[in-house]
């Protein structure tokens, strides 16, 4: 079984304003309920790269810590990817 949901919304803001809003995770978490808590945001650096540490939550699962790397292409797109995990010692 597969479920897909889509929606569209018109935003009266520039691409830069939208991407800056998303990068301000303390503010953005108010509209993205998958972010339980923001621990840190590092970057973006001069190449547009950075990382975030958050507590994420998904329906039916307990909140869990997560680190994600991101790349910002000023001001066209922003991509978050799960950071590589460190092996346990």
What residue ranges of the chain have pLDDT lower than 70? 1-5, 86-89
Closest C-alpha among 84, 88, 89, 76 to residue 14 = 76
The tokens describing 86, both together, are: 């460190």
Q: What is the pLDDT of residue 4?
A: 65
Q: What is the pLDDT of residue 6?
A: 72
Closest C-alpha among 28, 7, 8, 6 to residue 19 = 28
Tens of pLDDT, residue by residue over 17-37, are: 999 999 999 999 999 888 999
Q: What is the pLDDT of residue 83?
A: 80
CA angle 10, 14, 19 (to 5 degrees): 95
CA angle 21, 25, 29 (to 5 degrees): 100
The tokens describing 18, both together, are: 């939208």
Domain assignments of the chain as residue spans, ordered by start = 15-79
Is residue 82 within 8 A of residue 68, CB to CB? The reply is yes
Q: What is the pLDDT of residue 87?
A: 63
Q: What is the pLDDT of residue 3?
A: 60
């Amino acid at each position: 079984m597969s479920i897909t949901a889509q929606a569209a919304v018109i935003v009266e803001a520039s691409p830069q304003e939208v991407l800056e809003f998303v990068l301000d995770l303390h503010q953005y978490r108010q509209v993205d309920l998958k972010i339980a808590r923001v621990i840190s945001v590092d970057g973006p650096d001069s190449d547009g790269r950075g990382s975030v540490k958050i507590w994420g939550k998904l329906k039916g699962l307990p909140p869990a810590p997560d680190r994600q790397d991101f790349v910002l292409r000023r001001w066209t797109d922003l991509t978050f990817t799960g950071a590589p995990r460190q092996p346990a010692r």
